[in-house]
Amino acid sequence: MPDATSVDESRIAALSALIQRLDAEIPINQELLTQVDQALTHRSTGRARNLERLEFLGDAVLRLAATEFIDRHHANLTVGACSNLRAQLVSDRWLADVGAALAIEQQMLLGRHAQGDRSAQSRLRADATEALIGALYTALGDLEAIHRWLTPHWHATAQAVLATPHQFNGKTALQEWSQGQGLGLPHYATEECNREHGGTERFRCRVSIQNRDLAEAKGRSRKEAEQNAAAAALQALEGSDSPQASQ
């Protein structure tokens, strides 16, 4: 297990319990505990060993595992439908939900600034969950434990996406609404904020209809930022007294 100077006995017990909730078949050893501890240590702590590199790895591992899940369980889908489904199975919102189901925030080590930023809690859970995926892959060397952990979550999400696909494609839903109101097509203005590969806020998008700004959102890619902005715009429109009121 990690040396006593970096992780105390109570944290080792808490991390072991967390790992068992992921998958009871995972053998707990020193390497795994070390990696999981790092995955749950936020960069805001100032510690050299933090989640940043594991989050980067977890992003790639998650996409591969999700692709394998789709290939195993939804082989009849078209490539386009597979791409749309995978976008939901690896989204920040999905990761945050998985992290919430684990109560992952209870084991996260955060710096003072991150602790006080209540608006960032969902993003923090998503980052830690992605880093946890990277930690499992690093320590175990394969995807099987990741599949055992995430497959039930993927099944639930895939069922919802395939049953009501329009609800999971913000751009399509917003376009249908705007054209139904005779307002034409939404306009998306997307810019790159930084060059951090895999960063959750790499791109920023503003969506407008007839020169009226509706919402702004960020994402790992241009496509994700645009989808997030469209979803935010739909939420804003739903919060109005009526769709016409937002014109």
Catalytic residues: 59, 130
Q: Which residues of 168-182 are buried (b: 16+ CB within 10 A; e: fewer)?
A: bbbbebbbebbeeee
CA-based nearest residue to 63, from 143, 138, 136, 156? 143
Tell me which DSSP letter residue 213 carries. E
Cα–Cα distance between 88 and 159 in angstroms, integer? 11
Q: Residue 209 forms beta bridges with which residues? A: 212
Phi, psi (deg, nearest 5) at residue 188: -115, 125
User: Which residue, among 140, 138, 157, 147, has the nearest Cα to 96 in the 3D structure?
Assistant: 157
